[in-house]
Amino acid sequence: MTDDPRRLVLVASNRGPVSFGFAADGSLISRRGGGGMVSGMTSGLTAAARHDDVLWICAALSDADRAVARQDPGGTRPDGEVPVRMLDIPPRMFSGAYNGVANSVLWFTHHMLFDTPNQPRFGPRFRQHWDSYVAYNERFAAALAEEAAAAVLPPASALIQDYHLALAPRLLREARLDVRIAHFSHTPWAPPAYYRLLPDDVAGAVLDGVLGADHAGFLARRWAGAFLDCCEAVLGADVERDCTGDGAAGRVAYRGHTTEVAVHPLGVDAPALRARAREYDVEAHAAALAEATRGRKLIVRIDRTELSKNIVRGLDAYRELLATRPQWRGQVTHLAFAYPSRSELAEYRAYTERVHEIAREINEEFGTDDWEPLILDLKDDYPRSLAACRIADVLLVNPIRDGMNLVAEEGPILSGRACALVLSREAGAAAVLADNALLVNPFDVSATADAMHEALTMSAAERQRRCAGLAATAASLAPGRWLADQLSALRAAP
């Protein structure tokens, strides 16, 4: 027990822990927000709420969210364990910021996804979207400033999440000098040569925005290092790098202010996840999946249908496995769960089509009357995903680039069969899981097929040893600690 007074911790992110919909009778129904940031932050903030006052500020994403936000525009709405305030951002402004800049420009930049002979092209349309992005960031900064002003025990801490809100730290600093500000990137950060695809003023504004924070956090040393490199190359900022120390990456002095840059890898709340996976709905899915795959070896992947997740090359690798190692035909099933994502963007719709097409081809080429080689499912079903993790023999996580990747950590924690992990070396998680995973170059389809074969033939003892190591690492990076470390670093900052 501690008698320390409760301090105010504000979190700001685009997607919040809850989103609303309307039931047939017009009443509100709530559902849990998706994605790695939301699950890590929800768990971390629930732990923080035991000794601090917390408030999560997010955008209203649906019409029902907007209705909720309008009912109580300035106030907070307690929902579950973390109080939430939703910002009613005009749909046009939201779309310009979220689709036009955050997801189709900044996401593509940090994950290095552009088809560069054709994209990006920055013209008048982009400038309209950029204005929306600035205005959207201003809305968040104003809400944070307003909430911070009401702190009973100043200074408040503001934890600003992700590339949607890169400008908010600077805007908040300009509004209130007393707030302790952290920014956290859940994505990779692009190296300077790629980052410079952005228009010069935008490249500068995004870095300057993050440097408005006292503390800038990243999931892996590589991403923090790339950020420091960009600060130096693009802004000419004064950069210091730490090569030792407990996760510290360095600091940047710019415009009379110093930002600490640090690495905070995010893992999983293992007891909570295991408890959830023992519930009836997960048990039922596990039994149904085992029945459908009839005791065959299972290769499992669980992703959003997201360009950076590299689903197409993953399916190609499975096809190559079946083509080059006929002994696996009829003996293995690939469960590929690829949940809908960002369907407002044409690239995502085309990618989803391509995933379907390859899945069809594989089943046509290799399927028999009593064996469906690939089960592709695009329906978002959380308990079924947990069930698939429990019964996987091999977990495939092969992103082109990824900030961390929580599936790579959740899978081994839940595994009932001591799964082997085939993991892209370009995922942030590779920095902590490398010793016990089979690392692959995500662009090398043949090497990925080889790794699947190695995983399928690995001895039971070796799988046990590796899976236990993976689970222990993931559990050691629990979200409660991840958030507490950031808060203490922020409060200790000069």
Question: Under the rule (CB under 6 A), what is the footprint of ligand F6P?
Answer: 15, 35-38, 103, 162, 186-187, 341-342, 403
Indicate the residue among 218 and 328 with the shorter CB distance to ligand F6P.
218
Tell which residue, 197, 208, 198, 195, has the closest CA to residue 235: 208
Reduced to 3 states (helix: H, G, I; strand: E, B; else coil), residue 261 is strand
Q: Which is nearer to ligand F6P, 333 or 341 (CB)?
A: 341
Residue located via tokens 């000069």: 494
Of 41 and 394, CB closest to ligand F6P: 41
CA distance 225 to 40: 23
- Local structure of residue 451 (DSSP, 8 states): H
Burial of 380 (0-12, 13-18, 19+ CB in 10 A): middle
Element (H, E) at 274: helix 270-277
378, 349 in Cβ contact below 8 A?
Answer: no
How many CA atoms does the CB half-sphere of 409 hold within 13 Å? 28
Query: Which residue, 10 or 375, is less far from ligand F6P as judged by CB?
Result: 10
Which CB, 17 or 212, lies closer to ligand F6P? 17
Q: What is the DSSP letter of 367?
A: -
State whether residue 79 is helix, strand or coil: strand
Q: For ligand F6P, give the closer residue by CB, 106 or 144.
A: 106
Residue closer to ligand F6P (CB basis): 139 or 401: 401
Show Cβ contacts of residue 367 under 8 Å, excluding neighbours closer than 6 positions: 373
For the packed helices 280-293 and 382-391, what is the interaxial angle rounded to 10 degrees?
A: 60
By DSSP bridging, strand 18-22 and strand 28-32 are: antiparallel
Enumerate the β-bridge partners of residue 133. Answer: none
